[in-house]
Chains A and B, each alone.
Chain A
Amino acid sequence: NAGVTQTPKFQVLKTGQSMTLQCAQDMNHEYMSWYRQDPGMGLRLIHYSVGAGITDQGEVPNGYNVSRSTTEDFPLRLLSAAPSQTSVYFCASSYMELAGYTGELFFGEGSRLTVL
């Protein structure tokens, strides 16, 4: 059971380059999201999606794009990388609310990005 899979696990970019972080889940979760984690800042929500074709901004969306063409996939695109985007990125998914269900998030293993 793969759960939430993120690729790549490590990436080094130069300022101005673009790239896509991939996220896929095999649990049929409607909800998917991207967080970044920086020392002393905790996890901050970048973008999220409540289903295919629907996305919305979180706390820190600038510099990032997302799309949700299928239930399984939720890629995160860095359009023009900046050193301030050096971080660890986590993709997370959950079911939408079901009666008595907590809606806990399941996290991928993370992608460590360095922008030089």
Chain B
Amino acid sequence: GQNIDQPTEMTATEGAIVQINCTYQTSGFNGLFWYQQHAGEAPTFLSYNVLDGLEEKGRFSSFLSRSKGYSYLLLKELQMKDSASYLCAVRDGSSNTGKLIFGQGTTLQVKP
């Protein structure tokens, strides 16, 4: 079966660093995605990992360990606009398409 777990909610302070974890158990694996979704809006793509290690993109970094079924999204220098839901998604191993299975999402609240 497919199972993707993330914490439901997190709170952090403006200017700080926060790490959002994601663990997955899927029948196959062909890449892990992170999306950001502001309330009432569509998800937007943040990052993609298919090999083990860290991918850095500005204030956001994403890490993957395939052997542990584990990823995290690291947000540095938090800003108020980073308050949003962060969705972890895994691409089915048998697919080369955008067919993604999503976790339930982590709602991040950034406080002044």
A contact residues vs B (CB 8 Å cutoff) = 30-31, 33, 35, 40-45, 48, 50, 58-59, 90, 92-97, 102-110
Contacts and interface: CB of A to CB of B under 8 A. Distances in A.
Contacts of B33: 102, 104-105
B contact face: mostly helix, strand, loop, or mixed: loop
Contacts of A95: 98
Interface of B: 8, 31, 33, 41-45, 48, 87, 89, 91, 96-105
A27 B102 CA distance: 23
A102 B33 CA distance: 9
A36 to B, nearest CB: 11
A42 B98 contact: no
Contact of A93 (B8, B44, B98): B98
Contacts of B41: 109-110
Contact of B100 (A93, A97, A105): A105
Contact of B42 (A30, A33, A107): A107
